[in-house]
């Protein structure tokens, strides 16, 4: 593999790491607000890095422009969606998790 | 060259695996919002997997599908949050 291909693989691997962090956060974190935090920040960074790797991997000019559009679009809409869901949860009166909630356990 | 494509396809498979892991939260989420957050993460991972497959197989047309999927994913989240606030947790 050429050094350019190594760089593309490295970008995609870092993106996959952040995607894995987002999935672990979705599973392990205690309430809706912390899960929205994991989904918005970590998954957005993983998406942006991985789509940048795809944009470098595609050689066609028009396809590269499409991939960059997709990157900017994910960068804008993913935190907006998570914010809208968290705000809807707050409007419904779901209480945030605090450390006092776990005193009974373990 | 073949190794490069195989590596990109493997990373796309890893993103599909992360989407399947997030599916647990769709089943077990205590509230509806947890489920929508998990579905949103699954859609994001699907878009990434489509883009990586498009880069690995050198098929630029797959990017159009990824763009439409990202749009629908965003509309789902916004429409659900607005609907759920206005009607008080119907879903």
**Cβ neighbours of residue B58 under 8 Å, at least 6 residues apart?**
A58, A59
Look up tokens 């209480």; give the residue: A95
pLDDT tens digits along B65-87: 999 999 999 998 888 888 876 66
The answer to whether the beta carbons of residues A38 and A25 sit under 8 Å apart is yes
Chain A closest-CA separation from residue B54 CA (Å): 7
Domain ranges of chain B: 1-84
- ipTM of the shown complex: 0.87
In this structure, is residue A101 part of a structural domain? no
| Domain housing A88 | 3-95
pTM of the complete model: 0.88
pLDDT at B16 over 90: yes
Q: Does A91 touch chain B (CB under 8 A)?
A: yes
Q: Which has the minimum average pLDDT: A10-14, A28-32, B6-10, B27-31?
A: B27-31
SS3 A104: coil
Helix locations, chain B, DSSP H = 2-28, 32-57, 62-87
Give me the residue from B15, B51, B77 closest to A81, CB to CB. Answer: B77
Q: Cα dihedral angle (B47, B48, B50, B53), rounded to 10 degrees? A: 180
Backbone angles phi, psi at B69, to 5 degrees: -65, -40
Count of structural domains, chain A:
1
């Amino acid at each position: 593999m050429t050094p350019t291909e190594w760089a593309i693989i490295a970008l995609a691997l870092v993106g996959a790491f952040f995607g894995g962090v987002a999935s672990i956060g979705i599973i392990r974190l205690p309430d809706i607000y912390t899960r929205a935090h994991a989904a918005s920040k970590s998954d957005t960074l993983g998406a942006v890095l991985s789509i940048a790797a795809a944009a470098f991997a595609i050689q066609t000019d028009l396809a590269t422009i499409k991939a960059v559009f997709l990157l900017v679009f994910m960068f804008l809409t993913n935190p907006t969606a998570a914010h809208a869901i968290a705000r809807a949860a707050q409007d419904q009166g779901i209480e945030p998790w605090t450390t006092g909630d776990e005193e009974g356990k373990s | 060259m073949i190794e490069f494509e195989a590596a990109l396809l493997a990373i796309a498979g890893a993103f599909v695996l992360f989407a399947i892991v997030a599916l647990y939260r769709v089943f077990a989420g205590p509230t509806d919002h947890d489920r929508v957050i998990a579905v949103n993460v699954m859609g994001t991972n699907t878009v990434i997997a489509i883009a990586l497959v498009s880069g690995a197989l050198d098929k630029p047309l797959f990017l159009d599908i990824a763009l439409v999927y990202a749009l629908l994913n965003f509309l789902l989240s916004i429409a659900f949050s607005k609907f759920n606030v206005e009607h008080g947790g119907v879903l």
